[in-house]
Structure 1
Amino acid sequence: MKKLRKKVCLISSSGGHLEQIKQLTEVINRYECFFVVPRTKATETMQQKKYIVSDLVRTNKLALLIRMVKMMIEQLIIFLKEKPDVIITTGAAVAIPMCVIGKIFRKKVIYIESFARIYTPNKTGMFIYKYKLADLFIVQWEELKKYYPKAVYGGWIY
């Protein structure tokens, strides 16, 4: 399948969030994609085009603020270099700066709430939804529509 010219940034934390975003094979096969992920053993061995960025460490409020600023600068540099048309994320907090940057530059942002969240939302999802950072907000469980009434039920990624 020939890749289309649109460029997609796939950003997520490691673990289950990363495994979910990797399931978007139709997107990955159809568009020019790159990943933005924090450093872990799993992300260092990824074969796809990727950028390794800082992750959020929640020790105290000052450290959190400093780390968020560092993440924002790292991700802004990646954004300006790659110039994605669309940002897709499954969370978690590492994705917040890229979503903010995407909105500032008027790019499409798609947030997919974690498959692990069946009955309660996560903090990143609540933040993205509350501040309208996503153009399309997708839940994988209909039960979450009570927290995200304007979300689209998309079913499972898996």
Structure 2
Amino acid sequence: MSEDKIRTFEQKRAETFSNSQILCNGPGTCVPVCISALLLEILALKKVIIVYVESICRVETLSLSGKILYYFSDYFIVQWPALKTKYPKSIYLGRIV
């Protein structure tokens, strides 16, 4: 009975949220995953929303992953106001712990 409930719940959730999302937080391994998501979008197979959160230790400059994904992500979140001034597309939310 529980398995049926889970399957029903997951089916409804999949129908409600048809877009997929990727949440990245800085490691270089996220870049190939995001590029493959962009490839899916380019081929018109699936729309994937990319949310990138820059590491809290990056105070004045972006990491290499951040520099690459700054141009491709849908939402680019920084945790320091100095980065918001340097990168206008970014969203400053303060410290995210």
Question: By percentage of residues, which structure has more strand?
Answer: 1
**Whole-angstrom distance in 2 between the partners of 1:5 and 1:99:** 23
Equivalent position to 1:102, from 37, 50, 66? 37
Larger radius of gyration: 2
**Whole-angstrom distance in 1 between the partners of 2:56 and 2:65:** 14
**Which residue is 1:144 aligned to?**
83
**Which residue is 2:20 aligned to?**
85
Scaled by the length of structure 1, the TM-score of the pair is 0.45
Shift of 1:136: 0.5
Q: Which amino acid aligns with 2:30?
A: A
Two-structure CA RMSD over aligned residues (Å): 2.1
Q: Unaligned regions of 5+ residues in structure 2, if any?
A: 1-8, 41-46
Identity value in percent: 33
**Which residue is 1:128 aligned to?**
69
1:65-88 alpha-carbon deviations (Å, 9 max, x no partner): xxxxxxxxxxxxxxxxxxx81000
CA contact (8 A) 1:141 1:153 kept: yes
CA contact (8 A) 1:110 1:135 kept: yes
Scaled by the length of structure 2, the TM-score of the pair is 0.70
Equivalent position to 2:59, from 110, 115, 118? 118
